[in-house]
Structure 1
Amino acid sequence: MIKLSLKCAEDHQFDSWFQSTEAFGKLKGAGLVTCAICGSDKVDKAIMAPRIRDSRSKAVKPASGELSTPANPAEQAIAELKRQIEQNSEYVGLNFAAEARDMYEGTTPARSIYGEAKPDEARKLIEDGVPVTPLPFRSGQKSN
């Protein structure tokens, strides 16, 4: 595993873990690497300083299952929002547009959902008055 510092076209900087630099390249090429702050897929590696420690015994290890801790209040707020949404909503994946429309039209019972929609599908939902909002993160189902 390798931790990379990344930067999007909007100049947001964040870190993410990858199996290798080659894996990063493949995921980026497939459009699966997105900014943790704005969701943009225009992400590149940022300049990184080498991580040097004077002794293995002084190394700080993250808690079990934890990859990294949000670095600033904005990242902490987004992480908490993501946790709340994933805990209290149903992930419907690529069926999001159809599910949201069905609930709006009353053909499906209303419930809290989140998922993914193509830009044209999301635009059509908004134009039709369906109450949806983009989230400032990607679903855990596809995260790096």
Structure 2
Amino acid sequence: MIVFDLACRAAGHRFEGWFSSSDDFDRQQASGLLACPLCGSADVAKAVMAPNVGRKGNQRPEPVRAAAPESLAPAPTPAGALTNTGPALPPEAIAMFRAMAAAQAEALKSSRWVGDRFADQARAMHYGERDHEPIHGQATADEARDLIEEGIAVAPLLVPVIPPDQAN
């Protein structure tokens, strides 16, 4: 795998992309498969980047962990939710995840919980067996994969949702 720093020419956003080779990047770019994750622009190019050359083993500095400011510290997580036990996230990432979680929570307000019947309900709507409506629920990885293979648009939720009958 090779990692390239990429930039969208439309707005100057910088991001990173992983490719199996430089030729793979060229093929994806020529096919129009690359897009800026921030604005969606397909005008993406390699950005100038410094090579990632490791230090000698006897020259490695001690890792420094920066504490997040209090205003961006991670919010408490619901019981059973996964937490980040790795290196501290940058404040921008924490803010982004919070914004995405807030958007998800707002979308769930107008969506109906269907529990473990999610795959069946989504499939019934897709094939016209029932009226379309926003739903959310639980599906196994195999069920989600089958839905996607059938052309049914589904997306995982960023923040785990506690079923209504298990909420306090």
Normalising by structure 1, we get a TM-score of 0.50
The 5 A counterparts of 1:1-144 are: 15-16=76-77, 32-35=80-83, 72-141=94-163
Gaps of 5+ in 2: 1-73, 88-92
Q: Distance in 1 between matches of 2:148 and 2:116?
A: 17
Q: Distance in 1 between matches of 2:94 and 2:124?
A: 38
Alpha-carbon spacing, 1:133–1:16, altered in 2? closer, same or farther (3 Å): closer
Taking only the aligned residue pairs, the percentage that are identical comes to: 31
Aligned length: 88
Alpha-carbon spacing, 1:123–1:91, altered in 2? closer, same or farther (3 Å): same
Q: Distance in 2 between matches of 1:129 and 1:75?
A: 28
Alpha-carbon spacing, 1:83–1:14, altered in 2? closer, same or farther (3 Å): closer
CA offset at residue 131 of structure 1? 1.3
CA offset at residue 72 of structure 1? 3.0
Larger Rg: 2
User: 2:123, 2:147 within 8 Å by CA — same for their partners in 1?
Assistant: yes
- CA-atom RMSD in angstroms: 3.0
Tell me the equivalent position of 1:62.
Answer: none
CA offset at residue 83 of structure 1? 1.7
Q: Which runs of 4+ in 1 moved over 2 A?
A: 13-18, 32-35, 140-144
The aligned amino acid for 1:92 is V
1:85-126 CA distances to partner (integer Å, 9 max, x unpaired)?
221111111110000000000001000011110000000000
Q: Distance in 1 between matches of 2:78 and 2:113?
A: 23
1:2-43 CA distances to partner (integer Å, 9 max, x unpaired)?
xxxxxxxxxxx874365xxxxxxxxxxxxx5435xxxxxxx7
Q: Which has the higher contact order (CA 8 A, sep 6+)?
A: 1
CA offset at residue 137 of structure 1? 1.6
